[in-house]
């Protein structure tokens, strides 16, 4: 019987042959109280005017892109 490492290697080779590539992402653990407090502090420190300006820009660009595909 093959080891776990050998089975994983074989699986990755099969996926590569199909044109796929493994991708791993590390993201903040939202179950962690420390992470949630850090995010809350960052959100509280946002500049409302700046955020509204950024959202307005994103909206205008998305509408522009939609018009270009018609």
Q: Could you list the residue range(s) of the whole structural domain that residue 41 is in?
A: 25-70
Residues near 30 by Cβ (< 8 Å), separated by ≥ 6? 36, 39
**Domains of the chain: total:** 1
Q: Which residue has the tokens 């998305």?
A: 62
Does residue 6 fall inside a structural domain? no
pTM: 0.51
Helices (H), the chain: 4-17, 33-44, 48-68
Per-residue pLDDT tens digits for 14-62: 999 999 988 999 999 999 999 999 999 999 999 999 999 999 999 988 8
Give the pLDDT band of residue 65 (cuts 50, 70, 90).
Answer: low
Q: Which residue has the tokens 């080779």?
A: 13
Does residue 41 fall inside a structural domain? yes
**Which pLDDT does position 69 carry in this prediction?**
56
Question: Cβ(15)–Cβ(22) under 8 Å?
Answer: yes
d(CA 70, CA 64): 11
Does residue 31 fall inside a structural domain? yes
Does residue 34 fall inside a structural domain? yes
Does residue 20 fall inside a structural domain? no
């Amino acid at each position: 019987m093959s080891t776990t490492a050998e089975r994983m290697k074989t699986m990755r080779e099969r996926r590569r042959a199909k044109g796929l590539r493994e991708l791993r992402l590390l993201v903040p653990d939202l179950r962690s109280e420390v992470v949630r407090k850090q995010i809350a502090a960052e959100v509280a420190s946002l500049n409302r005017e700046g955020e509204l300006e950024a959202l307005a820009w994103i909206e205008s660009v998305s509408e522009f892109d939609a018009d270009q595909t018609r």
